[in-house]
Chains A and B, each alone.
Chain A
Amino acid sequence: MIRVNVKLFGAFRAHGESVALVVRKHGSISDVRAALLARLGAERAELLSLSRFADSHAILAEDTPVADGAALALLPPVSGG
């Protein structure tokens, strides 16, 4: 198993600044998504389905591998400007 940290933004701030998760070794963003859904609960399923994962440089595809200690961000629908 590996540990990842997911920073939270926007409406997800209600759950804190970040969430530490454990996912399977050689897992991907889709595994992080499943673990986060389990942590946040079904009432967040719709917003989570509309949200994307990123690192500090790019939005990440669902099949992007994640490494132990990865620092990720969860990006809900955006409303800047």
Chain B
Amino acid sequence: MFHAEVRDVAQTPLDAAEALGFVEAPGHGAGALFVGAVRNRNQGRDVLAISYDVFAPLAEQCFGEICAEAEAKWGPDLRLFVAHAKGRLDVGGLSVVIAAGSPHRNEAFSACRYVIEQIKTRAPVWKQEHYTDGDSDWVQGHALCQHEEAAHG
């Protein structure tokens, strides 16, 4: 069971408590949480904010596929919550929230780590950093490869 979402953070910010609440269950003794946030420095430049550009329909499908892969690896008892920001966030703003709930901690930790690592290389999301000197630049990322096409095309 999972929840996968691209959220317009100009309307509603991401919420770690919401994510953990979703993955709770009476049979779950473990909940793992990953929170990504905008930091104030990258590649030697002072960052004010980041704008997240997202191809939302494909991103939500991608999140769902990643969650299904995690369920296949760590069992059907797993509950997952994935939400990624769309829009501009200042330093400290939450860009991504992932929670995993399971009966035992190993599955929760492993699934949470798996989901964020897969999102970073597969999800159609792009960061534009805004710097204190007034400049802005798109972050160089991971080229989508044949693996994605073979697995999802």
**A interface, CB within 8 angstroms of B:** 7, 9-11, 13, 50-52, 54-61, 64, 73, 75-81
Contacts and interface: CB of A to CB of B under 8 A. Distances in A.
A7 B55 CA distance: 9
Given A11-B138, A80-B127, A52 B144 contact: yes
Given A10-B53, A77-B142, A79-B142, A58 B153 contact: yes
| Chain B interface, DSSP helix/strand/loop, else mixed | mixed
Given A9-B126, A76-B141, A80-B84, A57 B53 contact: no
Interface in B98-143: 116, 119-128, 138-143
B124 A9 contact: yes
Interface string B30-45: 0000001000000000
A51 B148 CA distance: 12
Given A56-B61, A75-B55, A79-B141, 15 more contacts: A9-B55, A10-B128, A10-B138, A54-B55, A54-B124, A58-B58, A59-B148, A60-B153, A61-B149, A78-B121, A78-B126, A79-B142, A80-B119, A80-B124, A81-B116
Contacts of A9: 53-55, 124, 126
Tier of interface size on chain B: 20 to 34
Contacts, number: 100
Nearest to A55: B58
Interface string B51-92: 011110111010000000000000000000000100000000
Secondary structure type dominating chain A contacts:
loop
Given A54-B55, A58-B153, A81 B120 contact: yes
B96 A80 contact: yes
Contacts of B120: 78-81
A11 B138 CA distance: 6
12 contacts: A50-B143, A51-B143, A56-B61, A59-B149, A59-B153, A75-B124, A75-B144, A76-B126, A77-B141, A77-B143, A80-B125, A81-B95
Contacts of B140: 77, 79
Nearest to A79: B141
A18 to B, nearest CB: 12
